[in-house]
């Protein structure tokens, strides 16, 4: 259950003749107005500008299963049908947790990386559309406490399919090619952190990059 929601109202995109681009390097002293943060009491998402380039640090409370997340306040802008990409550079500081790095429609459909220490030590991916879903599929990438670049690309040549990359290398079982599972609604970035023990957890996000063809 979500106990707290903080909403920022402004929203912006850089627009070009052939594409839409969004990039947030988390500079300054607060997260930008695109982001809404929500979750259980005691969590937070803040810019930490003492690190080179700045980061967004997402923190949970110290209760088991407490969570915190950021998204675009359900302002769906990104369409898989228009060849979209999300790239997130992030670091998990303690691996006893669950993490989603995703494009999400605000309800139940998404393309996502998922790590869950209650399941195993690897990253998985899932592609889900209107109840039709891939299930969680092992990427073959073991989670650790270093920075990595997580990239999801939704392609439309041939039939709709999704590619998953970590540090520029395509993961095991990618691309995912069941077109019926690829979301058809507008999506937004979604970053989610959940503690898997009664200890506060943090997720450091160096940047978020999103692009979409027009």
What are the tokens at 51? Answer: 């690190």
| Residue 9 pLDDT | 31
How far apart CA 67 and CA 130 sit, in angstroms, is 25
How far apart CA 79 and CA 67 sit, in angstroms, is 27
What are the tokens at 148? Answer: 């990595």
Q: pLDDT, tens digit, for every residue of 33-81?
A: 889 999 988 899 999 976 667 899 999 999 999 999 999 998 878 988 8
Of 162, 6, 135, whose CA–CA distance to 80 is shortest? Answer: 162
Residue 136's CB: how many other CB atoms inside 10 A? 15
Contact 152, 128 (CB under 8 A): no
Contact 107, 142 (CB under 8 A): no
Contact 167, 151 (CB under 8 A): no
| Residue 17 pLDDT | 52
Task: Show the low-confidence residues of the chain (pLDDT under 70).
Answer: 1-18, 50-52, 214
What domains lie within the chain, and their CATH numbers? 4-213 (2.60.120.200)
How far apart CA 127 and CA 137 sit, in angstroms, is 9
Please tell me the chain's helix, strand, coil percentages from 3-state DSSP, rounded to the nearest 5.
5, 50, 45
| Residue 5 pLDDT | 37
Sign of CA dihedral 95, 209, 74, 156: negative
How far apart CA 16 and CA 171 sit, in angstroms, is 31
| Residue 198 pLDDT | 97
How far apart CA 76 and CA 189 sit, in angstroms, is 9
Residues 6+ apart with CB under 8 A from 50: none
């Amino acid at each position: 259950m979500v106990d707290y929601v903080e909403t920022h109202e402004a929203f912006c995109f850089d627009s070009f003749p052939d594409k839409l681009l969004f990039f947030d390097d988390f500079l300054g002293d607060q997260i930008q107005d695109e982001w809404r943060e929500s979750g259980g009491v005691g969590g937070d998402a803040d810019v930490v500008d003492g690190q080179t380039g700045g980061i967004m640090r997402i923190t949970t409370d110290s209760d088991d299963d407490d969570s915190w997340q950021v998204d675009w306040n359900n302002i769906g802008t990104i369409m898989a049908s228009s060849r979209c990409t999300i790239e997130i550079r992030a670091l998990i500081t303690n691996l006893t947790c669950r993490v989603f790095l995703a494009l999400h429609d605000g309800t139940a459909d998404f393309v996502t990386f998922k790590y869950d220490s209650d399941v195993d030590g690897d990253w998985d991916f899932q592609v889900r559309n209107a109840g039709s879903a891939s299930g969680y599929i092992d990427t073959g990438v073991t989670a650790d406490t270093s920075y990595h670049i997580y990239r999801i690309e939704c392609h439309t040549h041939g039939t709709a399919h999704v590619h998953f990359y970590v540090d520029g290398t395509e993961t095991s079982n990618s691309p995912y090619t069941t077109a019926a599972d690829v979301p058809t609604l507008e999506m937004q970035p979604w970053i989610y952190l959940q503690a898997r023990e009664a200890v506060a957890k943090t997720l450091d996000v160096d940047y978020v990059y999103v692009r979409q063809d027009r």
